[in-house]
A and B are shown apart, each in its own frame.
Chain A
């Protein structure tokens, strides 16, 4: 009986708790302008949340991410282009805020590395296969060896 009451209380607590957190999320001021919202949405999927580093701003509910989205929203409302907004954030947080890092000296390995590895692997495979072919072609069986092989094969059958 007592356990039952406790469970009921727990359920009520959980329900009211989630309700209040939802209300807190919705209190953010929103722009009515659909174009601005679309731009915020587009940019926040391109930018990294610096607090929870493997999430985009769009996915993150960290306080900083909310602040940055609000900042982006205000810049978008002022009519700034995507590039101008990204530049503004890169100036402050570095290239790390971008999910697509720009191609420059410090990121060459990142961009070219996988293709270089693929090429190197392909080249290695090519050499190996050619070597094997040559080995077969260059070392045919001597007459004696061929006779032995045939003998063995015949014995088996």
Chain B
């Protein structure tokens, strides 16, 4: 009788693993950059390409680096949330306009609202590679010392904002 239970036990173990697998997202590759200093860059600004922008300017602040592009549908999904977040003045958002064309990008910000303090233009995607971007939108939370504290892969959702980003920003701001 006990012997008959062995296949059942094996089945339950396998089923347990498979069930867990249903709720894992293989597209979410944990970033090795969390806990490391945010890679430096100096890129032209979207609104004025003669000026440059660099993460150094944000030292001493907790901020979000949001990679986006006007050709990216998922970025449009998260955009209203970013606009709301920026209106609250809770945390400054810097945009990294990834492999985009300037007129389209600027047009999109005029149409949908501009949640960004400033935008860096990453026309050839080099800075994206430095940040380990493999699919926009991706968002990095960077602390006062310039260290990456959290990476959101894919669009920011209300849940991610409520459960992870906002509590973490509050914690980092008191440090």
Task: Decide if A and B are genuine partners.
Answer: yes
A-to-B contact residues, CB < 8 Å: 50-51, 53, 63-64, 67-68, 71, 90-96
Chain B positions 5 through 29: 1 when the CB is less than 8 Å from some CB of chain A, otherwise 0: 0000000000000000000001101
Nearest CB on A from B69, distance (A)? 11
Please give me the residue from chain B that is nearest to A70 by CB atom.
B124
How many of B's residues come within 8 Å of A, CB to CB?
A: 17
B-to-A contact residues, CB < 8 Å: 26-27, 29-33, 99, 124-126, 129-132, 134-135
Question: Are B129 and A67 touching (Cβ within 8 A)?
Answer: yes
- Contact partner of B31 among A53, A63, A64, A94, CB < 8 A? A94
Q: A51-B135, A67-B125 are in contact. Are A92 and B130 (CB under 8 A)?
A: yes
Contacts of B132 in A (CB 8 A): 92-94
Please, how many angstroms separate the alpha-carbon atoms of A51 and B132 in the complex? 12
Question: Are A94 and B129 touching (Cβ within 8 A)?
Answer: no
Question: Are A94 and B125 touching (Cβ within 8 A)?
Answer: no
Main SS of the interface on chain A?
A: helix
Contacts of B31 in A (CB 8 A): 93-94
Q: What are 30 inter-chain pairs, A to B, with CB distance below 8 A?
A: A50-B134, A50-B135, A51-B134, A51-B135, A53-B26, A53-B27, A63-B99, A64-B125, A64-B134, A64-B135, A67-B124, A68-B129, A71-B129, A91-B32, A92-B32, A92-B129, A92-B131, A92-B132, A93-B29, A93-B31, A93-B32, A93-B132, A93-B134, A94-B29, A94-B30, A94-B31, A94-B32, A94-B132, A95-B32, A96-B30
Contacts of A53 in B (CB 8 A): 26-27
Pair count A-B, CB < 8 A: 39
Please, how many angstroms separate the alpha-carbon atoms of A123 and B11 in the complex? 20
Please, how many angstroms separate the alpha-carbon atoms of A50 and B128 in the complex? 13
Please, how many angstroms separate the alpha-carbon atoms of A119 and B29 in the complex? 32
Contacts of B134 in A (CB 8 A): 50-51, 64, 93
Please, how many angstroms separate the alpha-carbon atoms of A94 and B132 in the complex? 9
Please, how many angstroms separate the alpha-carbon atoms of A92 and B30 in the complex? 10
Please, how many angstroms separate the alpha-carbon atoms of A31 and B125 in the complex? 20
Question: Are A50 and B129 touching (Cβ within 8 A)?
Answer: no
Contacts of A51 in B (CB 8 A): 134-135
Question: Are A96 and B29 touching (Cβ within 8 A)?
Answer: yes
Contacts of A92 in B (CB 8 A): 32-33, 129-132
Smallest CB-CB A-B distances: 6 pairs: A50-B134, A92-B132, A94-B32, A96-B29, A93-B132, A67-B125
Nearest CB on A from B137, distance (A)? 14
Contacts of A91 in B (CB 8 A): 32-33
Please, how many angstroms separate the alpha-carbon atoms of A96 and B27 in the complex? 11
Contacts of B29 in A (CB 8 A): 50, 93-94, 96
Please give me the residue from chain A that is nearest to B29 by CB atom.
A96
Nearest CB on A from B26, distance (A)? 6
Please give me the residue from chain B that is nearest to A71 by CB atom.
B129
Contacts of A90 in B (CB 8 A): 32
Nearest CB on A from B99, distance (A)? 8
Please, how many angstroms separate the alpha-carbon atoms of A63 and B69 in the complex? 14
